[in-house]
Structures are given as structure tokens and as C-alpha cells.
Amino acid sequence: MKLYLDPGHGGSDPGAQGHGLNEKDITLDIALKLRDILLNEYQNVEIRMSRTGDTTKSLRQRTQEANAFGADFYLSIHINSAGSSAQGYEDYIYPGASSESKRVRDIIHAEVMKVNELRDRGKKQANFHVLRETKMPAVLTENGFISNAHDAALMKQSSWRQKVARGHANALAIAFGLKRKTVTTPVPTPAPKPGTLYKVMAGSFKARKNADEQVTQLRAKGFDAFVVTTTISGTTWYRVQVGAFSSRENADKHLTLVKKAGFTDSFIVVDDGGSSGNSKGSSPASPPRDNGGSSGTGSNSGSTGGAGNGQNENNGENSGNSPQPPSTQGFPILGPTILSPKQMNDFVKTVNPNAPELGNLYFTIGEYYGIRGDIAFAQALHETDFFRFTGIVQPSQNNYAGIGATGPDRSGATFETPEEGVIAHLQHLFAYATATPLPNQYPLVDPRFHLVERGSAPTWTDLNGKWAVPGTTYGQSILDLYKRMLRFSAENLENLQKEIQS
């Protein structure tokens, strides 16, 4: 299926404006998300976009491009504007449109309305240029009113824009009978020797100055890089390390990314963890991990956050410890949530009276993913110092798991809303706890989900050395905090029982 995807407006034409938003920005973000869904999840899809950035293009240029491309379908994404009371979703076809345009429009309307949380304003017709001058079936969707407070508040949420993109994608898949890509199971490779690290090096230099310059260039392109020294035949070399992995496959993938970024002399060094290791780190040592969780030790250290730049599993040297295989014993991450939202909220307020009330989110979203939401809540308390955020992550980030934070200059991922932050936290736990596909009620908002070795930590103590570094007692600390929550709730219930009996 050949799709011409047209995010409305752009460049010198901002489109509708309101509540601090520009239509051109919202339409582009939805369209890019839609493109990624279709290309990543479905077979035989070819997409041409009218723009992939903030560029100016006339309506005539758009329709001419689509006609020359020979698209099977033209989809134009827009945002509406009117008086402040107008709100909702509507879509358009040309008054003399073909039956195929009507058929596809009906499917789009139904699928988008399932997810967009907007009022249904109906199916409409209009003499729009992009609908009139295109030679293929065409639909224009108006995804809410930027002039309306309710609709604009939704538009500001990345998770909502993802939902809208997903609705459009679902509709196109149904309308054109798109087949999902099949996921092939790779042939298992022999397990590496315990403690083996595959270190990605972006160059080796005799002069420290040259190595430092390479580090600067790498960091400018978003890679975590630092210098390590090694001695070969009595000569000291300065290598620039940009990742260390317990999986050769992940190391190879990262090596490809580094080379594509222009560092073509990059290579992999295999370190089996022996006492005569071939490199010496110039940064603090840390065992391999996926970087999804904290580099500190939660509330005790006052610093939280995940390590890495979203690409590599470990950005430090090996301390001689390697990730432990999933245990067959321990308290599982998957399971029922025992404590109620009120019990969770009441507990945290014994320490932080101003804590946000997130108990209901952890309860309901935890139940959906089959994760013990009350223990995830305890983990959030551990990571954020009881939502006081005394470390590097700020309250405005809604990042309750320290995802992606590495240090003072990298405070990690930011989520649009508290709900999105809790979803990301629980999705990251789900990735560790099980290898089953992620349920699709919520969009994937965890930016590090695909970096996790799926199912590698089915129990809370299996998170040791994976979510946090050094993290040798990370899981135990969470469970100890959870025990405190249980005792607190039990005491409250006991006191209530005494009051009733008296």
C-alpha cells in the first residue's frame, strides 16, 4: 500500500493557534508517529510525507507530489479552530468522492473515535484542495479544536497524540488489509562466559588529547563516551568507549549505530572479566545493565535516575560482577495488587504530607499489566525519596522510576502527565518480568522498553544490578519498604477494628 501522508501546514504557515500550541507542530507529531507505527508493524507499506520537519509547502505541491507518487491513498491530518466552545473530532471527503473514499473514511472515523477522547462531530464533506485535486481516495481528519481548553489539554499530551496516530494506523490496516510483520525467533547463540563484556570502542589513540576530542564529538551526537586506557606491547593507548554489553547482539547493534553516526573506525573489545583485563576505566566502575533504572540507590542516596543515553546497556567499566540469571526463587513482579490506592497514599503521606496521590494509577495500571502495583509504588518511593525528588530528577518530569537519568546534566526522561509516568514505569517492569507481548490498551511510552532483555528479571530481587547500580540489595530495599507499607496498613486496620469493637 502506497500512502501519501500530509501533516497540515508547516514552516511559515503555523495553521491554527491557541493555548500555546501551533497546529503545524501537532499534525507533524501525529503524522510521524503514524508513519513509524505503519512502517515498523506492517508489511508492504510505502509512505511519502509532504513534510517531515517544519517546512513550507503549498497545497498544490502536496497534491502534485501525491499524484506523481501514485499513492493508493491520501491522508491529511489537521487540527480545528473556532469559538472556545467548539470541540471534538470530524473528518472530510470531497462532495463528489468515490465510494472507496467513503469506505475508508468510515473506517477511519470509527477507529479514531475509539481512542481520541473527543466529542464526535460527524462525517462531513468539503471542497478542500487536497481532497479535490488528488487522483486517489483521500480523507482529511480534524483532530480536535486547538481553540477549546479541553481539546487543547489533550493535544499537549504525547500519549494522546500517540493514541490518535494509533487510531489512524488501525483504520488503515483494516481498510487496506495490511498484514503485520512476523517476528522471527533468532537462533540461540552459545552463552558467553560469565562476566564477559562486549565493549564498543569509537577509536584508539596514542595522544590523550585526540581521545578527548573524540569524546566531545560523540557526546555532541548523543552518545555517552569516556576514555579508557590500555597497554599494548608496552605502549599506552587511549580508547574511547561508548558502551559495554553483556550481549554480543546488542553490542553489534550499537556498533552499527556508532558507525552510522560517522565514527567508522569503531570496533568491539571482548573482556572476559579476568584479572588481567585489557583496559582500565577512567570513570566509576559499574556492572552491565540495561540502564532503565537508577544509577543511585534511591531514597538513601538522594540521587536517582537511569544510566546511559537510551542506546547502550552500560556506560561504565566492569567491576568484575556480571548480571545474574533470573532466579527461580523470590517474590515475583507479576501478581495481584494487595494494598488499596488509599492505603498507598496514606503511607507516603506519613513521610511526605505533600506527596501526590498516585495510588490509584499504580493500582489500576498495575492491575492491567498484571504487575503488583503496590510494590511498584514502593519502588517509586525508593527512587524519588517519597516523591520529594531530592536527587537529579525533578517533580515536573513525572519520572517516578528514574528512567534515563545519568547525572547532573542528564536528568532522564520527561513524561507529559503523572499517568504517563506511571505507565512508563510499569511498562519497564513488564519488560523485565516477562517476554510476552506488551498489551496494547496504552501506547508504549517507556523510551527504554526495547533495551531490556525481556523476561530477564521475573522477581524483584532479580532487578539487582539491572535497574540500579551497584544495586546488590536494590530489590530487597524495595521489598523492605513494601513490608513497612503492609505493617502500616495492618496497624490502621487493627485500630479500626478496635474502634468498632469498643
Cα–Cα distances (Å) from 167 to 110, 143, 182, in that order, read 9, 11, 21
C-alpha cell at 267: 570496533
Task: Return the active site residues.
Answer: 142
User: Rounded to an integer, what distance in angstroms lies between the CA atom of residue 448 and that of residue 434?
Assistant: 15
**Partners of residue 228 on adjacent β-strands:** 239, 281
Region of residue 185 (phi > 0: left; psi between -120 and 50: alpha; otherwise: beta): beta
* CA 347 distance to own-chain centroid: 29
Length of the chain equals 502
The amino acid at 285: A
Burial of 356 (0-12, 13-18, 19+ CB in 10 A): middle
413, 404 contact by CB (below 8 A): yes
User: Rounded to an integer, what distance in angstroms lies between the CA atom of residue 388 and that of residue 383?
Assistant: 10
Burial of 28 (0-12, 13-18, 19+ CB in 10 A): buried
What's the farthest any 2 CA atoms get from each other in the chain? 84
β-bridge pairing 267-271 and 21-22: unpaired
Residue 126: how many other CB atoms lie within 10 Å: 13
Q: What stretches of 167-323 adopt beta strand conformation (E)?
A: 197-205, 226-232, 235-245, 267-271, 280-281
Using only C-alpha atoms, the chain has a radius of gyration, in whole angstroms, of 26
Residue 330: how many other CB atoms lie within 10 Å: 16
- H or E element, residue 431: helix 418-433
User: Rounded to an integer, what distance in angstroms lies between the CA atom of residue 155 and that of residue 19?
Assistant: 10
422, 403 contact by CB (below 8 A): no
The DSSP line for 169-180 is HHHHHHHTTPPB
307, 469 contact by CB (below 8 A): yes
